[in-house]
Amino acid sequence: AAQPDNLLLATAPRYCQYYNQLHQLPLVALPLPFDESQQKKLEVPFTLLWHKRNSHNPKIVWLRETIKNLYASMA
């Protein structure tokens, strides 16, 4: 997204366009200039790391599982 008369550029997930419209921001959203096979090559793997002392912390376990479930639903 970028403002029309500005040299700044940002990349953001597609759902951010909703907030752009909601708040009537002067941003322009453009699709990536890649076909689907090229976009697949750009996917970034994520790794969750935590200290072993937090392995059984209910809050950390909840956060870990929530993140894993979010990304599993995208696959």
Q: What is the pLDDT of residue 58?
A: 94
For residue 24, the 8-state DSSP code is: T
The domain ranges of the chain are: 1-43, 44-75
3-state secondary structure of 20: helix
Q: What is the pLDDT of residue 71?
A: 80
How confident is the model over 9-41, as pLDDT tens digits?
A: 777 777 888 888 899 888 887 777 888 888 778
- Give the angle subtended at the CA of 47 by the CAs of 50 and 32, to the nearest 5°: 140
Round the average pLDDT of the chain to a whole number and report it: 81
